[in-house]
Amino acid sequence: MDRFPSLDPGRAREHLVAARARLDALTRDVGGAQLFGPKLDIVNPFLWELGHVAWFQERWCVRLRDDGTLGPSLLDGADALYDSSAVAHWTRWHLPLADLVRTRRYLAEVLGHVLDALDTRVEPRLVYFAELSAAHEDMHCEAFHYMRQTLGYPAPALDADAHRPTAGGEAGDAVFAGGEFTLGASPDSGFVHDNEKWAHPVRVAPFRMARLAVTNREFNRFVEAGGYAQRSLWSEAGWRWRTATGYEGPRYWRLTPDGWEQRRFDRWVPLIDDEPVAHVNWFEADAYCRFAGRRLPTEAEWEFAAQGSDKRRFPWGPAQADAQRANLEGAALAPVSAIAAGDTPEGVRQLMGNVWEWTASDFLAYPGFAPDPYEDYSQPWFGTRKVLRGGSFASPRRMLRATWRNFFTPDRGDVFAGFRTCAKGE
């Protein structure tokens, strides 16, 4: 029991219910052929992923016994269908999956069991796994959101916060003196993932970070200057990716007689200059930095900017994230100059929300790392991914904190990711 932190069962219950409401909102209109879609290495069939969310929650919150064995599932054969660690990706389109009605019933039945358990017994282990499964569902909710973009499905019917007009954000760099900094989460942080553990001292050199994320207008200068064709701007691995894919600009961009357009889900719309560039991968962000004479921040620099030496929970301070401080849990991007209330004391805007931000850092274990019970969350991916920070407009507010580490391979541009830059030579 000492392995599990003391967490609030009431909050865990709220998170589970909220995560399910968002999942329903993001998938309620998906049906027919959309439930499977094309076979791609960056998406799962919608129907499989819905079943996987239910299976994961049942596996950790309902079926797991004290001796580590599993009780029976509410759905016959669930382990052979939905265990992502055991079921090969390319087989997921050909499995004998339950139909949509049965899958949704499975989701509801599992959640009902977990909520009943939280109401009748308060055990640190149960509350921890409830929080884990809520976070897992929230991450899959964001995946459902960008899967709809990838596959060209209509945008989900979500309420969008009004972030226009804006007061205008100050461009240029914020200056950070650096110094000794404690990177990572502390044991009193509440629920955190194993890759955030534990806070440890690092030395951060003085640095200058852009107050605003790179915009479509700025990235377009790189595109129109032929940046995608200039070998000198790309890393060796990045150039291999560029030549293999043939990209000449960001995915979902196209040039028309009337100017640049970008695809938003199932519609082509004019490129909005003052929004952050999105759907660029790490290779593209790195090449842009070389073009601009800049660099990506390290994740230590990003967290230093977001938390300061006092390790505040959010970039703006201790107050919880809301629509006035961050574009999270929304329906669309906001201009990079919007949401001034979320600024750091140095004036860095939108470190949280709008787009995930690529960092220069490889995804590696912190000193003394030990995997949590869900061992496949972080450990298999160390050394093969790059770290992203901050969350996107599609990230649930309850999911994020300044120590959260997202991670994807450097070729992934399907997620809602952009970046900001730092000055060289600081």
**Tens-digit pLDDT profile for residues 352-367:** 999 999 999 999 999 9
Residues 276 and 422 in one domain: yes
1 pLDDT band, cuts 50/70/90, is very low
Residue 1 maps to a domain: no
Tokens representing 260 are 């640049």
Residues 142 and 194 in one domain: no
Residue 147 maps to a domain: yes
Please say whether the beta carbons of 47 and 100 come within 8 A: yes
Residue 2 maps to a domain: no
Residues 179 and 140 in one domain: no
376-419 tens-digit pLDDT: 999 999 999 999 999 999 999 999 999 999 999 999 999 999 99
Residue 285 maps to a domain: yes
Tokens representing 223 are 């595109």
Residues 234 and 358 in one domain: yes
Q: Reply yes or no on whether the pLDDT at 69 is more than 60.
A: yes
Residues 264 and 397 in one domain: yes
Residues 288 and 411 in one domain: yes
Residue 240 maps to a domain: yes
CA nearest to 330, candidates 137, 160, 145, 135: 160
Domain boundary among 97, 117, 151: 151
Q: Reply yes or no on whether the pLDDT at 160 is more than 80.
A: no
Residues 13 and 142 in one domain: yes
Q: How far apart are CA 269 and CA 332, in angstroms?
A: 13
Q: Reply yes or no on whether the pLDDT at 165 is more than 60.
A: no
Task: Output the domain CATH number for residue 90.
Answer: 1.20.120.450
Residues 243 and 390 in one domain: yes
CA nearest to 424, candidates 209, 222, 259: 209
SS3 67: coil
Residues 146 and 195 in one domain: no
**Separation of CA 389 from chain center:** 8
Please say whether the beta carbons of 312 and 299 come within 8 A: no
Residues 289 and 350 in one domain: yes
What is the number of structural domains in the chain?
2
Domain boundary among 151, 181, 204: 151
Residue 30 maps to a domain: yes
Domain boundary among 111, 129, 151: 151
Task: Output the domain CATH number for residue 205.
Answer: 3.90.1580.10
CA nearest to 196, candidates 80, 367, 50, 43: 367
CA nearest to 166, candidates 312, 34, 59, 324: 324
Residues 123 and 183 in one domain: no
Record the pTM: 0.96
Burial of 56 (0-12, 13-18, 19+ CB in 10 A): buried
Burial of 296 (0-12, 13-18, 19+ CB in 10 A): buried
Range list of β-strands (E), 236-324:
253-256, 259-264, 267-270, 294-295
272-329 tens-digit pLDDT: 999 999 999 999 999 999 999 999 999 999 999 999 989 999 999 999 999 999 999 9
**DSSP β-bridge partners for residue 389:** 357
Pairing of strands 253-256, 207-210: unpaired
CA nearest to 54, candidates 100, 121, 123, 117: 100
Residues 108 and 207 in one domain: no
**Average pLDDT value over all residues in the chain:** 95
DSSP annotation string for 364-414: -PPTT----SSTTTTGGGTTTSEEEES--TTS-GGG--TT--EEE-TT--S
Residue 3 maps to a domain: no
Residue 4 maps to a domain: no
Q: Which domain holds residue 181?
A: 159-426
Q: How far apart are CA 35 and CA 49, in angstroms?
A: 10
